[in-house]
Amino acid sequence: MLFGLGATAGTLAFSDLLAGEDRVPTGPLAPKSPMIPAKAKACIFVVLEGGPGHMDTFDPKPKLRELHLTESVRDPEQVLVEVTAKTYYVGSPFDFRKTGNSGIEMCDRFLHMADPAVADELCVYRGCQAQSVNHPDALYHLNTGSTLGADPGVGAWVTYGLGTLNQNIPGYVVMTELAFPQGGAGNWSNGFLPAHYQGTLLRPTGSPLLDLKPPQWKSREQQRQSLDMLAEMNRRHSRRHPSHDELAARMESYELAYRMQAEVPELVDLSKESAASKDAYGLDDERTRAFGRQCLLARRLVEKGVRFVQIFSGGWDSHDFLERNHSARIRSVDKPLAALIRDLRQRGMLDETLVVCSGEFGRTPDNNRRGGVDANGRGHNADAMAVLMAGGGTPAGTVVGATDEVGNRAVEVVHPLRDLHVTWLRLMGLDDNRLTYFHGGRFKQLSQVGGQLIPELIA
């Protein structure tokens, strides 16, 4: 009976019985203590949708320059996609240089990330391996731990385990560009967790949230009276149907929406940011404005107590015209991402904010059958990828792991993606083996079947 009570509308009713008017936050989104000592209180997760070429960004491969346009000799048994025609190696069109005091190597198109104040904050992990080379499946795997698209997002697990630090705004916020990533909202779903933990999407243009302002003809007092009446009707219904946890979540969402009307408009209003801040994030440049807006909002959201912010940057699927495509995408994220890391450090927030930047997989060292000699590009590669991290207890100014000489496979500090998830949770004070939810007859977890910690990624 008690287990059922914790999974139903009874949670809210029981909390109200125990709490007075001047109470600490209660309910499913109330702040919770970490399971283990935490290094990070919040996470900003940047997803480079499409799979950036690791050998074209943060994992230089001089050998590919030597092999450029020669026939590829990859072992077909080690390739996750069928190779039925002649393929040739593609050397990176970009030069690389060492940056900062740490000497981290990155593509020369990264101008702002190369600033020592930013580069020396980075941890580049080159040993990660994904599971799928199909975009929707791989995105689901990166964002939910499962390729099936029905499980909770990483942000849902984090808010389930830790709650939120600000009860007036959502604990899990998502921002995309004009188009949704492949797989859509399944990338930030609550899955089988209660509906309270799903990501809240902020729109890329116009008002970030629809109906954020109440109608002019309705006062705050009238709204409060309407919500109180609705809550009483819902409580009566929930007593007759105690297993419908969706109703409890809907009741809470109404209350959250009411509270958001007072706090969110000012939070998402970037007009009050200084000219210097807008320039730093690239808001005055059409090429960087969209992503810069997301990064600046992410900093403001975390500053106000949002636990998990997820940002999507699309267009990284460069099968053809690699130089042109990657140059444009790097330009769009370089300045804003550098500004975010620098801004968090200057505000004293970086040590407690985990910043992660990753695609759903890496790229192949050859053209993977697509495009001609004049349209050099790369195929999908789940056996090697580069993951960028900063702050939140990660070792600054380090490179962890390595891929082979052409970037085809990870060969040092090799771990599957689930181990990376386990490590991210650990940095935030959560134990993957204890952060479970009973569903479908068993206790489920982010890693699906358990995983190993990657100690090299913890300072």
Write the pLDDT tens digit of every residue in 88-107. Answer: 899 999 999 999 999 999 99
DSSP states of 307-330: SEEEEEE-----SS-HHHHHHHHH
Would you report the helix, strand and coil content of the chain in percent, each value rounded to 5?
A: 35, 15, 45
pLDDT of residue 11: 40
Beta bridge partners of 443: 438
Which range is least confidently modeled, 188-192, 254-258, 331-335? 254-258
- The three-state secondary structure class of 290 is helix
pLDDT, tens only, 393-420: 999 999 999 999 999 999 999 999 999 9
The token pair at 348 is 């004293």
CA angle 258, 296, 38 (to 5 degrees): 80
Q: What pTM did the predictor assign?
A: 0.86
Burial of 33 (0-12, 13-18, 19+ CB in 10 A): exposed
Average pLDDT of span 290-317: 96
3-class secondary-structure state, position 86: coil
Mean pLDDT of 112-141: 97
User: At 16, is the pLDDT very low, low, confident or very high (cuts 50, 70, 90)?
Assistant: very low
Give the β-pairing of 200-202 and 172-175: parallel
Q: Which of 97-111, 265-279, 345-359, 380-394 has the lowest mean pLDDT?
A: 265-279
Backbone angles phi, psi at 371, to 5 degrees: 85, 155
For the residues of 349-415, what is the DSSP string, one character each?
-GGGEEEEEE-SSEE-SB-TT-S-GGG----EESS-EEEEEESTT--TTEEE-EE-TTSSSEEES-E
Please name the amino acid found at residue 305. Answer: G
